[in-house]
């Protein structure tokens, strides 16, 4: 079930070369995944004035696709932007299964889009390096899966 508080004054579209600097600055500020940057994996949200509001990515691995780098600029938070970006990105993808890595406190946000927490033994191997890196910094992380 999709969230009800989705912002309507936003445009979500594939990222363009002119968005790269804004995406990278936001991901760096939030210490989110910037590895193996592929512009075509990203969507960006722009507000009614055309200002960059946030981004998200579907990152492709050998054994899975991961929703990652979900970030909203601080000025735009709390207005449904994050929900709009995630819903739009999921809608654009035909992938039958999408995974993500998040902190336990973020589980409720992603549950809204149909993600469920995965048992440790079911985690895709390719996500292990990312999990190890984040768990060293932040403590226990959660892997979630959305089956479509
Ligand atoms: C997490 C983030 C993307 C949410 O963006 P946002 O535009 O503020 O989110 P929305 O306005 O769409 O929020 C929708 C709902 O999720 C809740 N929510 C927002 N951020 C949340 C979080 N980090 N954890 C749990 N719930 C959250 C909101 O309270 C809101 O609930 P409500 O509808 O009951 O009021 C944004 O806070 C952000 O960029 N944070 C820093 C980067 C980050 O942590 N990214 C996620 C890691 S993958």
92-123 per-position pLDDT tens digit: 999 999 999 999 999 999 999 999 999 999 99
- In tens, the pLDDT along 33-76 reads 999 999 999 999 999 999 999 999 999 999 999 999 999 999 99
The pTM score is 0.93
Residues 17, 18, 20, 21: is their CA dihedral positive or negative? Answer: positive
Whether residue 123 contacts residue 61, with contact meaning beta carbons closer than 8 Å, is answered with: no
Question: Residue 121's CB: how many other CB atoms inside 10 A?
Answer: 5
Phi first, then psi: give them for residue 46, nearest 5 degrees: -120, 140
Report the pLDDT value the prediction gives residue 7, as an integer from 0 to 100.
Answer: 53
Task: Work out which ligand 1 atom sits closest to the CA atom of 73.
Answer: 39
Name the closest-CA residue to atom 9, ligand 1: 82
Any ligand 1 atom below 6 A from CB of 143: no
For residue 141, is pLDDT > 60? Answer: yes
Set out the domains of the chain in order of their start, with CATH numbers. Answer: 11-147 (3.40.630.30)
Average pLDDT over residues 12-19: 98
Report the alpha-carbon distance of residue 133 to residue 102 in Å, rounded.
Answer: 12
């Amino acid at each position: 079930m999709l969230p009800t508080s989705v912002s309507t004054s936003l445009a979500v579209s594939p990222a363009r070369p002119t968005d790269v600097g804004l995406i990278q600055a936001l991901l760096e500020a939030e210490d989110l995944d910037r590895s193996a940057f592929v512009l075509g994996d990203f969507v960006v949200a722009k507000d009614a004035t055309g200002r960059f509001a946030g981004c998200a990515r579907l990152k492709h691995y050998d054994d899975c696709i991961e929703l990652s780098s979900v970030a909203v600029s601080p000025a735009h938070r709390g207005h449904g932007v994050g929900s709009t970006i995630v819903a739009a990105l999921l809608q654009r993808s035909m992938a039958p299964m999408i995974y993500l890595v998040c902190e336990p406190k973020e589980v409720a946000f992603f549950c809204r889009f149909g993600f469920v927490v995965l048992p440790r033994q079911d985690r895709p191997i390719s996500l292990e390096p990312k999990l190890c890196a984040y768990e060293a910094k932040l403590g226990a992380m959660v892997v979630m899966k959305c089956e479509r």
